[in-house]
Amino acid sequence: MRVLVVGSGAREHALLLALRRDPEVEGLAIAPGNAGTAAIADQYDVDVTSGEAVTKLAQRIRADLVVIGPEVPLVLGVADAVRSAGIACFGPGTDAARIEGSKSFAKDVMTAAGVRTARSEVVDNPARLDASLDRFGPPGGERAWVVKDDGLAAGKGVVVTPDRAAARAHAANLLESGHPVLLESFLDGPEVSLFCVVDGETVVPLLPAQDFKRAGDNDTGPNTGGMGAYAPLPWLPEDILTQIVDEVVKPVAAELVARGSPFSGLMYAGLAITSQGPAVIEFNCRFGDPETQSVLALLETPLGQLLYAAASGNLADEPPLRWRDGAAVTVVLAAENYPGRPRVGDPITGSEADGVLHAGTRRRDDGAIVSSGGRVLSVVGTGADLAAAREAAYRVIKSIRLPGSHFRSDIALAAAEERLAR
């Protein structure tokens, strides 16, 4: 089969590497890709937000399967366009993608499905902001205010803070630029990202992972798109994993079917494991970055066949997934000033090493690989356990040179040292 992957990040680079290991995948294409993906797939330029452009490209290169990486094309209906041309597509249509595209839609689905999540309020009128803030945050016993952009914000629309003035300022800013705001109760506990391949009511969970959202060590600094991840989670009991699948993902998948918008693709549940059990922080409608880099590094099941089965409505017939023993740790190398406006255009050395997945990179006319985005690349290390996987990832990332760049030094550290409760 010929597979076209849409997107340009390290997640797409990881998808390509896993697809390449599938003996049934004979052709691999990527659009628009980056300097790293160009080395392993035919690369095409495309406007990823245009259903027509993506469909035309898929037809031209005779793709049997299109895999859409990022959320924006999914929310805009690119998967619908590809499917209506009769091409199998891994990724939900615009209706089901609202589980990520609209936080208030996701809340509504969770309420209907009886899924535990944070208490929330949507604020669209600045005059009501103070009264709403009073119903959340530290005075009521919670550790912090949680203020979110109700729409898509690449992981950067969220402010979690014990400082009421900072919470208020973020909310007021969003409202001023015309974005409805979602206030949420603070969920306390370690976070889990559980990716499930979903086809209607059929749910196949992948290995659980943990993402590191803050820019700095010890979870300091602003929220980012993700600075590192590891899988699996040795501290997460098997029964909690089963509970997440049975009490969170399956009911939400069933609710979407009942609403006439069945989900087909990757359903990503982001949860906090609170003292009262798992509670949903968010749903995404696609593979998460950087967790995908860790999870797929351990997948033995041929990925192309798995995604094709989901995309063609045959997921229920697939054999159980197979995984490599051991652990995988991913560390993101970010450009100077990320998650603010990143410095770009600097030459990178050492990015050809094994385990390096490219994101914000491009090849200059003179052949040099230069930075072109905030998250520049990720490094995946694998090993018998988290400590060995960490060592492998950090050995490589320390050998890469990019002026002004930064990475977190504590990815998977607490779990490797068994400091997270079992």
Count of positions on this chain that bind ligand GLY (CB under 6 A): 7
Query: Which of ligand AMP, ligand GLY, none does 289 bind, CB closer than 5 to 8 A by kind?
Result: ligand GLY
Give the pair of three-digit tokens for residue 187.
């969920």
- The H or E element containing residue 132 is helix 129-134
* Span of 168-176, 183-191, 326-334, 387-395 interacting with ligand AMP by CB under 6 A: 183-191
Residue reference for tokens 């009911």: 251
Q: Are 205 and 387 in contact (CB under 8 A)?
A: no
Q: Which does 118 bind (CB under 5 to 8 A by kind): ligand AMP, ligand GLY, none?
A: ligand AMP
Q: 417: burial class by Cβ within 10 Å (0-12, 13-18, 19+)?
A: exposed
Q: Which of residues 147-166 bind ligand AMP (CB under 6 A)?
A: 148, 155, 158, 160
Please, what's the largest Cα pairwise distance for the chain? Answer: 60
Three-class DSSP category at 225: coil
Name the minimum Å distance from CB 5 to ligand GLY.
Answer: 16
CB 370 within 8 A of CB 347: yes
Assigned token pair, 362: 């491009």
Residue 36 binding ligand GLY, by CB under 6 A: no
Sequence letter at residue 104: S
- Rounded to an integer, what distance in angstroms lies between the CA atom of residue 51 and that of residue 42? 20
* Residue 186 binding partner per list ligand AMP, ligand GLY, none, with a CB distance cut-off of 5 to 8 Å that depends on partner kind: ligand AMP
Size of interface with ligand AMP, in residues (CB under 6 A):
15
For residue 398 the two structure tokens come to: 């320390």
The only residue of 138, 190, 200, 270 in contact with ligand AMP, by rule CB under 6 A: 270
Distinct helix (H) and strand (E) counts, the chain:
14, 22
Among 106, 281, 309, 397, binds ligand AMP (CB under 6 A): 281
Q: Residue 291 binds which entry of ligand GLY, ligand AMP, none, with Cβ cut-offs from 5 to 8 Å by kind?
A: ligand GLY
User: At its nearest, how many Å lie between ligand AMP and the CB of residue 194?
Assistant: 13
Identify the H or E element spanning 7. Answer: strand 2-7
Could you say whether residue 199 binds ligand GLY (CB under 6 A)? no
In whole angstroms, the minimum distance from the beta carbon of 17 to ligand GLY comes to 18
For the segment 214-233, give every residue that binds ligand AMP (CB under 6 A): 223
411 binds ligand AMP (CB under 6 A): no
Contact call for residue 293 and ligand GLY (CB under 6 A): no
Cα–Cα distances in Å, from 309 out to 56, 266, 304? 23, 12, 8
* 120, 202, 284, 378: residue in contact with ligand GLY (rule CB under 6 A): 284
CB of residue 96 to ligand GLY, shortest distance in Å: 17
**Residue 96 sits in the site that holds ligand AMP (CB under 6 A):** no
Spatial separation of the C-alpha atoms in residues 321 and 400, rounded to whole Å:
34
Binding mask 212-251 for ligand GLY (x = CB under 6 A): --------------x-------------------------
Rounded to an integer, what distance in angstroms lies between the CA atom of residue 186 and that of residue 145? 7
Q: Where are the alpha helices (DSSP H) in 180-314?
A: 238-244, 250-258, 291-297, 303-311
Residue 211 contacts ligand GLY per CB under 6 A: yes
Contact call for residue 100 and ligand GLY (CB under 6 A):
no
Residues facing residue 220 across a β-bridge: 216
| Nearest distance in Å: CB 192, ligand AMP | 10
Phi first, then psi: what are they for 365, rounded to 5°? -55, -30
CB 336, min distance to ligand GLY, A? 22
> How far apart, in whole angstroms, are the C-alpha atoms of residue 279 and residue 191?
10
Residues that bind ligand AMP (CB under 6 A): 118, 146, 148, 155, 158, 160, 184, 186-187, 191, 213, 223, 270, 281-282
Residues that bind ligand GLY (CB under 6 A): 155, 211, 226, 284, 288-289, 291
